[in-house]
A and B are shown apart, each in its own frame.
Chain A
């Protein structure tokens, strides 16, 4: 059944199609002429050094801002393809909080720090019209459990949580509405290695189980190797190499990718 629907989805074409995305900040180039397709269930990694335009690209792909040039098409649940940049603001907001998710590197950017973990997760449900407290509470509890949060802390403020816990609340907040596409900006940045490992395990499990599509920006090649099916390497705002993750990392073709891969500490 699931394979059939995946097959059908594949027949419909890619979930997200970006064509010629270019954005610059005055004379500084953010990203230049990026074209990509993201298929249902696919996890795309974007790697590159600081300032290579990864986050700019992610912001353009997630329509957090509209680039100077380029087009972005998204396959809606209805089977129609929508031009995301041409949508009205209300429609785009609705899309962002139902079908999409955005996980920020710093949980403070993605959470309301003044309200409890439970309310943070429930906000999306209430934003699309859920008005039954008991039902909202049930879904919130379910999702906090799935990201392995201690349920006794559902009513605590995110400020009282560790960085790793905040990040898990942020992930639950994004997934509670059952999105089909999640954007992640360095989801494990700034966490210590053991917490990172658990979080990566969780993310891999969730993307596998839910058949989520995801775009993950990271500068950590190990994270990219673990999570992504396909990899894009960026440098100075341009995509210098792309392909299957293992292929890119094990047999890098571009000089910059070779440098990047060889710069990882070998143990």
Chain B
């Protein structure tokens, strides 16, 4: 599972970005950590992958990673999906560092759309890939106005969106990219993680960094910081439940993906966090199995 450090490809600076760029990104990160939840502009660079595939996350990772680090990359919780595999290989080649799929062995975890099920420690850093850093964007299109709203902590309009959900569906329907308030001050987009993961951000041990490459913004949550999900008194924040267990490891507590298995409407639920699921299987847990095993 853990791949040892290999020789770095020649022709690239360590971790692809040049040193001046990394310094610039680090300055933005320092400012972001100093003002939790505040979006700091930075000079986002062209990266050798398209916008929307994690250019922001990669630049943050490249700027903080060192020779001694061990990198884990997940996409939707899984270590073996295209985005995760390519980014992990990118850093293995351009930085020659060790990579892993084990959450507890990693010092830096880059993620798209999930937070690992395991509690993260304060010697770890988690880097989120962010498509739209501005939580108010769908309600207020003008950047000049949203900046002013952040400056004045003028966030009433965010509740308008939640109000709409309740009026339409009877409950808060927003299930991912669920807005959070950082340390009682800045409204922040948690990136498109499911709201299932929101409580994990609250007072997390690990430093949380967010990079948006196309939108050229970096923001951060320092370790052990208050993260509240917005809600109404009579419609409190709730996470999803499935009424099912993982077909492979039998876990009913983790975030489950529904996988369609045939054309007849058959499906099974499996853990989204592959590392978590694999660990439980090794420990002897067993799920009910998928439909193909029962036939």
Contact = CB atoms under 8 A, between A and B. Distances in A.
A244 to B, nearest CB: 40
- Chain A CB within 10 Å — which of B161, B166, B231, B232 has the most? B232
A172 B235 CA distance: 25
Given A131-B233, A133-B232, A155 B167 contact: yes
Given A127-B154, A131-B233, A133-B235, A119 B160 contact: yes
Given A89-B152, A93-B152, A131 B164 contact: no
Q: B interface, how many residues as a size bin?
A: 10 to 19
A128 B164 contact: no
Interface stretch (A42-50, A63-71, A110-118, A201-209): A110-118
B164 A126 contact: no
Contacts, number: 57
Would you call the interface of chain B mostly helix, strand, loop, or mixed? helix
A136 interface: yes
A23 B166 CA distance: 45
Contacts of A154: 167
Contacts of B7: none
Contact of B160 (A89, A112, A129): A112
Interface residues of A, number: 24
Given A126-B159, A127-B157, A133 B166 contact: yes
Nearest to A132: B233
A53 interface: no
Interface string A84-96: 0000011001000
A122 B164 CA distance: 10
> DSSP majority for the A interface?
helix
A136 B154 contact: no
B139 interface: yes
Contacts of B164: 115-116, 119
Contacts of A131: 159, 231-233
Contacts of A129: 156
Interface of B: 139, 148, 152, 154, 156-157, 159-161, 163-164, 166-168, 231-235
Nearest 4 Cβ contacts at the A-B interface: A127-B156, A126-B159, A133-B232, A126-B156
Interface of A: 89-90, 93, 112, 114-116, 118-119, 122-124, 126-129, 131-134, 136-137, 154-155
